[in-house]
Amino acid sequence: MCVEAAPKSKCGGKSNCGCGWHGHAKTAALNPRIIRTIKFGEEAGHQCSCSGGGRCPREYLAPTGYVLGGFLILHLVVNSLALWPGKFQSAVNRVHSLGVLLPILEIGLIAVLIIHIAVGLRLMRRDKLNFITGDHFHGSPMRQWLQRVTALIMLAFILFHVITLHRWFGGRFDPNNAFSSASHAIWQFWHGQPTGSFPNLLFAQFYLLGIVASVYHLTNGVATGAEVLGWVKTPAAQERFWRICVIASPALLLAGLTAWYALAVR
């Protein structure tokens, strides 16, 4: 009879995927608290697709996140021009001048978004919203917990945003009348309710929450994604890159808040 030790990683010592098992494999022999059950000569399996030479789900999450992050930055910067309705309209006109290329880009972006959401939900199904400690996760436990919380907020935000504004779903955004149609869709979402009423005010605040959550999710995702992809390998480099992302994030948050102020408040 033998006791079951910690799951052994089959990733050849690779520890950058952050799947939650590699760190246990390193400390198994030293930490008696990981001995959980009694089995007869059977080794616990590594609960990650990276076992047996496969790829860890986070290696799909990181690159798709970078693509979506690039779009988010562009989207917030363009929307911040709503502070000047004329410039905002000119920017929207340039985007829609892409013609047939625009729906192709939109379909591609939606495909990337679906992959990112599917992989993220798969990981969240395992971790849920538990506050998980351990140095095998990228960043601090608080950062990882906030990453999952903001992911759920963003999922709801994106669904509302696309359904209420995008033309494919009968949304209210009119590219020929960009400023007034976007402002009306946000500030007067509930028909029959006056501007500034509680239901419309609540919906406008939901947009604010979505923007703040998106900026944090992108900031932390860029930092941890670089670790997953092996771009920053040492703890010092990882901490330095995280600080760079934090320093840069206020500029993106300012762009998002400017767009929100222009379209939902002013």
Q: What percent of the chain has pLDDT over 90?
A: 50
pLDDT of residue 38: 37
Question: What's the CA gap between 220 and 237, in Å, rounded?
Answer: 15
Residue by residue, DSSP assigns the chain as: -EE--PPPP-STT---S--SSHHHHHHTTT-GGG---EESS-PPP--STTGGG---THHHHHHHHHHHHHHHHHHHHHHHGGGSHHHHHHHHHHHHTTTTHHHHHHHHHHHHHHHHHHHHHHHHHHHTT-----TTSSS-HHHHHHHHHHHHHHHHHHHHHHHHH-GGGT-S--GGGHHHHHHHHHHT-STTSPTT-HHHHHHHHHHHHHHHHHHHHHHHHHHHHHHHTTSS-SHHHHHHHHHHHHHHHHHHHHHHHHHHIIIII-
111 class by beta-carbon count within 10 Å (0-12 exposed, 13-18 middle, 19+ buried): exposed
Of 23 and 153, more confident: 153
Structural domains in the chain?
1-55 (no CATH), 57-265 (1.20.1300.10)
Range 119-138 average pLDDT: 76
More confident residue, 154 or 183: 154
- Gap between the Cα atoms of 259 and 265, Å rounded: 10
Q: Give the pLDDT score at 39.
A: 40
Banded model confidence at residue 108, pLDDT cuts 50, 70, 90: very high
pLDDT in tens, 198-241: 777 888 889 999 999 999 999 999 999 999 999 998 989 999 99
pLDDT score of 184: 84
Q: Is the pLDDT of residue 148 over 80?
A: yes
Given a contact cutoff of 8 angstroms between Cβ atoms, the answer to whether 56 and 38 are in contact is no
What was the pLDDT predicted at 109? 95
The pLDDT of residue 198 is 78
**Average pLDDT over the chain, rounded to an integer:** 80
User: How many of the other CB atoms lie within 10 Å of CB of 2?
Assistant: 10
Residue 37, Cα to own-chain centre: how many angstroms? 36
Average pLDDT over residues 40-56: 49
pLDDT digits (tens, 9 = 90+) for 66-89: 999 999 999 999 999 999 999 999
Widest distance between CA atoms in the chain: 77
Cα 47 to Cα 6: distance, rounded to the nearest angstrom: 11
| Predicted pLDDT at 232 | 92
pLDDT of residue 89: 97
Q: What is the pLDDT of residues 11-32, one digit of tens each?
A: 444 444 555 444 444 434 444 4
Question: pLDDT category, 196, cuts 50, 70, 90?
Answer: low
Q: Are 218 and 72 in contact (CB under 8 A)?
A: yes
